[in-house]
Structure 1
Amino acid sequence: MANQKVETAVLDTAHVGDIRGALGTIRHDDIELRQGWKQRFKTLLAILGPGLIVMVGDNDAGAFSTYAQAGQNYGTSLLWTLCLLIPVLYVNQEMVLRLGAVTGVGHARLILERFGKFWGAFSAIDLFILNALTIVTEFIGISLGMDFLGVPKVAGVCLAAVFIMLSASTGDFRRFERFSLILVVGSLVLVPIFVMVHPPLTQVSHDFLVPQMPTGGKLSDVMLVIIGIVGTTVAPWQLFFQQSYVIDKRITPRFIKYERADLWLGIVLVVIGAVAMISFTAALFGGRPELGHFQDAGAVATGFAKYYGRVPGVLFAIALIDASIIGAMAVSLSTAYALGDVLSLKHSLHRKPGDAKGFYAMYCGLIALAAALVLLPGVPLGLLTNAVQTLAGVLLPSATVFLLILCNDKDVLGPWVNNRVTNLLTAVVVAVLVLLSIILTAAVVFPDMSGETITDILISGGVVGLVIAIAVNVLHAREEADRSIPKQERKIDLKALYSWRMAPLTKLPTMVLSQRNRLWMGVLRVYLVVAMGMVIYRVIQVALI
């Protein structure tokens, strides 16, 4: 234990030192137990940031478009998807925050080191392409918001791009986090819009808690929206961002419980925002000519001005711009962090641009490229936005599989490996996500499939997935060596637990995948090819209609 505490796998020396959060500081040598609620609250304030930023950043321009489309086309009938995604959000993000605090190494680098060059390259390239497209959607959101407010497109997009670049390029981590938390607070502008429109709370509560399928529309279109909701609510970039941001903030195992609280606060905010958007959009267009004819988020702002006055329209446009900025910052950073990890570059917001040229060049380059693409004439903005969210939903199972295996790797997490409940929940999540993609494929091939059929498939597939997950968990959750150790001897004292860190990557034994894991990795490759192909095919179909 003592050796691992001193010699860790941290790749950038800037990732070690005092925690200098937006709302407080914790010295690197501060290992005292917190006594009383005041000390714990001060510690929580210092830790707050990663969970809030990654969650609120997820309610970005793509989310505005996806949630607005769900509300305008299908009312509040799809609110239940958000309720089901709450445990998915927590399980996935809790695993990456644990990986970040314990290992000190970013998600992309861990995949490269533990799974080999093929999956490492796939992970990095996949993340880069999807994130680049996602950043384009953020500037689409900025453009639509600025247009409603009367700001010229070129001027608005260029000013926003410069603003986003400068926000992360000061070399001061605390300054960046304070600015990000201001944007987090700005996301609450959605609440007064909800109050102004006042959707029926009884209907909203019912549809949030009771699963149902919309009565109108083609099944394939509905499934595209559902997978888009999954993709925008639980996006792959979130995994990479939070793990790296926890590392850059210098959070260690000592403060994992506080970071979990930070994550829960973020989940509450993201769900409130998502429910508000679907609900007030449903109320805005319900019974009106625009019902079922979603265009883009800009048209939603116009609808507010048309039916409720200029004020809610302006507030919606401001919320859209706010969300797009924080989304662009977080997604760009997740990419720069990941590539910095893989390429062994200096990659920290604690460093000045001159001291981490490659890191800031990637961050600023992605933003400049996205802004330029949005300014090109003839780009199908609304279609591109929804397509990106759907692709994110399809790619999420692969990211979750990597995450699950890493969090059961004792050389990586030691005493912090997943427990049986987490493994069970994650296995069910992967099964459901794959099932949704299979249903999308079936809906494309059989467009006349009924809502009852899809409900039956979801229920039966969920039961089968649960049974398989339980069986696998019971048979393989613990290694034989662990089962031979009495329970009382497996306990570890808190001091040792909090000081445990992963050894340097060069000293880790090679991970040997079991035949079972190799089989699933092969199936995963086939799934990705087929599912992505069907999504692209369906998006092209929609574009040609």
Structure 2
Amino acid sequence: MTDLITDPTIPAQRSAVLDDAHIGDIRGALGTIKQDDHGERRGLSAKLKTLLAIVGPGLIVMVGDNDAGAFATYGQAGQNYGTSLLWTLLLLVPVLYVNQEMVLRLGAVTGVGHARLILERFGKFWGAFSVIDLFLLNALTLVTEFIGITLATGYLGLPKVASVILAAAIIIASAFTGSFRRFERVAIALCAGSLLLVPVYFMVHPKSSQMAHDFVVPAIPGGSGELATVMLLIIGIVGTTVAPWQLFFQQSYVIDKRITPRFMKYEKADLWLGIGVVVIGAAAMMGIAAATFAGTGRFGDFTDAGGLATGIEAHAGKLAGVLFAIALLDASIIGAFAVSLSTAYAIGDVLGMKHSLHRGIKGAKGFYAVYAGLVAAAAAIVLIPGSPLGLLTEGVQTLAGVLLPSASVFLLLLCNDKQVLGPWVNGPKTNAFTAAVVGVLVTLSVILTASVLFPDITAGAILDIMAACGVAGVLAAGYAFTRLRTGTKEDPIDRTGRDSWRMPPLETLARPVMATGRKIGMGALRTYLLVAMVLVVIKLVRVALGQ
């Protein structure tokens, strides 16, 4: 394991950073902030320069979420149900912000990655579970990114093998420069490329008034007969928009960029920028698909994102189809960047390897080997004749939905750990909102697991699951409220001096003591996750074998 490193800008005993490359000047794609620059930002120009230097983590993690899987999910929603599910995006905005704000806070304050914090604060089982689950899920997600690459290049008339190999080479080479700034410049250029959906939107001409209405007025299309199908699609939208890899990526990328608590407000602005771009992109995809296929024989008959490009060409011309395919290619590559990095960061953090884009290949061999190995393996799987690519895509979405609640639970617990976050711990309002989000995610996860095991699940069964989870949630909330009222009243959180507060080295922290109720809850979560994962994997294997 690497030695603990001391940040010279803060007291020596207060640093938990594991890799000395995570300390120093902030060298962002759009600007630099010196390590010893502690001056107050006065005036719009100074604040804008600081924001430009900080921009990156929030933007990349959000745009990376509008990847190949998102193109398929949003395209299916638009093609099958028009723009009637746009309201789901509006509801997801606060969920996206709260989740990502908590991990960026953890990264800036602790200097330690998400997987390492879980390992140290909750034990070897959960630490190993989080890393293994992330590794497997990310490997499958990478395959879907290369599927997106083949669909995009196939529409553009490019050879499959050469396109996949070239894309893999670009993805690997962009990270292998030994320069954080060069990698971030490539990533932000790809983020700008995602805006190609905007001109496609205007070429296709969706009904803006209808989109505005559907964005703010919730509706379940298709009536009660299609409730089960629509609910599963909504779960797919949630799963593709709030993915587990995002938590690990954002926290580690904030650390690697050397962002500290004194720049928290700028990083939050960066996050809002990313959320704005991702919502605009998702809404554009739904609107494009809705306008392209409405009133045609292919409406409600979704195939894949490549089929969307073909339909767009027929509706709005070749240029619109080409721009959409390029946007799909761009999204697949940036998704592959982010997913690969989140895995390499997590494994490096847990195993104590050097793990920074500031280092060259010789200085972080294990880190770069994990990154390149994942990309190469995913590319190879896509090129194997007869690979069950459609099943892999379905498996990724299912497993992501099943595992998401556990990631959110640990995030909530870590953000209430005073030894970890000190004056940066969650307030009551954030806790209440996040707990409600976790409850909703658990409900969606149970519905998704049931739908995989029982493909003919009825709307009534889904409503029963929702009712049962709702009752359990009310009982849990009542228990928590009673404990809060009858327990010892804690002193208000002292948040003074928090801009300079950093988490002490992990080995100096006392292990958290879990209350009985929390132990029961964690045990139930562990049991559910293991059972659900095993059942889902068995089901997918049986489908692959044609049983």
**TM-score category by the smaller chain?**
over 0.9
3-state SS, counterpart of residue 57 of structure 1: helix
Match of 1:191 in 2: 198
| RMSD, matched Cα | 2.6
- 1:509 is matched by which residue type in structure 2? A
Q: Does 1:250 align with 2:251?
A: no
Identical aligned pairs, as a percentage? 65
The one of 358, 363, 383 aligned to 1:375: 383
User: Deviation of residue 378 (structure 1)?
Assistant: 1.8
Counterpart among 436, 439, 442 of residue 431 in structure 1:
439
1:498 counterpart SS class = helix
Tell me whether 1:107 sits opposite 2:114 in the alignment.
yes
Cα shift at 1:356: 0.5
Q: Which runs of 5+ in 1 are unaligned?
A: none
Change (3 A) 1:34 1:343: same
Letter in 2 for 1:31: H
Query: Aligned to 1:327, which of 318, 335, 360?
Result: 335
Q: 1:380 to 1:289 in 2, by over 3 A?
A: farther
Letter in 2 for 1:346: K
Q: How does 1:434-449 map to 2 (within 5 A)?
A: 434-441=442-449, 445=454, 447=456, 449=458
Corresponding residue of 1:5: 11
Q: Which moved more, 1:361-370 or 1:455-464?
A: 455-464
Which residue pairs with 1:306 in the alignment? 314
Secondary structure of the residue that 1:509 maps to in structure 2? coil
Query: Does the aligned pair in 1 maintain the 2:402–2:448 contact within 8 Å?
Result: no
Structure 1 position 318, deviation (Å): 0.1
Instruction: Give deviations 1:258-317, integer Å, cap 9, x for gaps.
Output: 101100110010011111111211221122122222111111111112222211110111
SS at match of 1:355: coil
**Contact 1:72–1:281 (8 Å) recurs in 2:** yes
Structure 2: give runs of 5+ residues left out of the alignment. Answer: 1-6
AA of the residue aligned to 1:13: D
3-state DSSP class of the match of 1:332? helix
Q: What secondary structure sits across from 1:25 in the alignment?
A: strand
Relative to structure 2, which stretch is displaced further, 143-152 or 72-81? Answer: 72-81
Aligned length in residues: 537
Structure 1 counterpart of 2:392, which letter? L
- Per-residue CA distance 1:382-405 (angstroms, 9 max, x = gap): 442243123212211000001110
Pairing of 1:280-295 with structure 2 (within 5 A): 280-295=288-303
Rounded Cα–Cα distance in structure 2 between residues aligned with 1:93 and 1:47: 16
| CA pair 169-47 structure 1, distance change in 2 beyond 3 A | same
Shift of the 4–359 alpha-carbon distance from structure 1 to 2, 3 Å rule, reads same
Q: Tell me which amino acid in the other structure corresponds to 1:332.
A: S
Between 1:198-207 and 1:243-252, the stretch displaced more is 198-207
CA contact (8 A) 1:428 1:462 kept: no
User: Is residue 122 from structure 1 mapped to residue 123 from structure 2 by the alignment?
Assistant: no
With over 3 angstroms needed to count, the CA separation of the structure-2 counterparts of 1:178 and 1:479, relative to structure 1, is farther
Question: Is the Cα–Cα contact under 8 Å of residues 24 and 45 in structure 1 kept in the other structure?
Answer: yes
Amino acid at match of 1:78: L
The question of 1:155 aligning with 2:156 is answered no
Query: What residue in structure 2 maps to residue 497 of structure 1?
Result: 498
Where does residue 79 of structure 1 map in the other structure? 86
> Are the counterparts in 1 of residues 447 and 462 from structure 2 also a CA contact under 8 Å?
yes
Aligned residue for 1:170, secondary structure, equals coil
In structure 1, what is the equivalent of residue 518 of structure 2?
517
The answer as to whether partners of 1:415 and 1:497 remain within 8 angstroms in 2 is yes
- The normalised TM-score by structure 1 is 0.92
1:26 corresponds in structure 2 to 33
What is the TM-score with the length of structure 2 in the denominator? 0.92
Q: How does 1:340-489 map to 2 (within 5 A)?
A: 340-441=348-449, 445=454, 447=456, 449-450=458-459, 465=473, 468-469=476-477, 472=480, 475-476=483-484, 480=488, 482-483=490-491
Paired letter, 1:333: L
Does residue 52 of the first structure (1) align with residue 52 of the second (2)? no
Q: Secondary structure at the match of 2:222?
A: coil
Which residue is equivalent to 1:206?
213
Residues 14, 319 of structure 1: alpha-carbon distance in 2 compared, 3 angstrom cutoff = same
Check the 8 A contact 2:31/2:53 in 1, yes or no: yes
C-alpha deviations, 1:237-257, integer Å up to 9, x for none? 000000000000000010111
CA distance in structure 1 between the aligned counterparts of 2:457 and 2:121, rounded to whole angstroms: 44
Q: Measure, in 2, the Cα distance between the counterparts of 1:129 and 1:228.
A: 19
In the superposition, relative to structure 1, how do residues 18 and 394 fare at CA in structure 2: closer, same or farther (>3 Å)? same
CA distance in 2, matches of 1:225, 1:479: 42
Give, in angstroms, the shift of residue 200 of structure 1: 1.4
Distance 1:478 1:95 in 2: 28
Distance 1:506 1:225, change over 3 A: same
Question: In the alignment, which residue of structure 1 is the partner of 2:151?
Answer: 144
> Which segment drifts farther, 346-355 or 442-451?
442-451
* Distance in 2 separating the partners of 1:170 and 1:76: 43
Deviation at 1:206, TM superposition (A): 2.3
Q: 1:64 maps to what in 2?
A: 71
Instruction: Say if 1:462 and 1:261 are closer, same or farther in 2 by CA, change over 3 A.
Output: farther
Alpha-carbon contact 1:136-1:371 (below 8 Å) kept: yes
Equivalent residue of 1:20, what SS?
A: strand
**Alpha-carbon distance in structure 2 between the residues aligned to 1:116 and 1:359:** 23
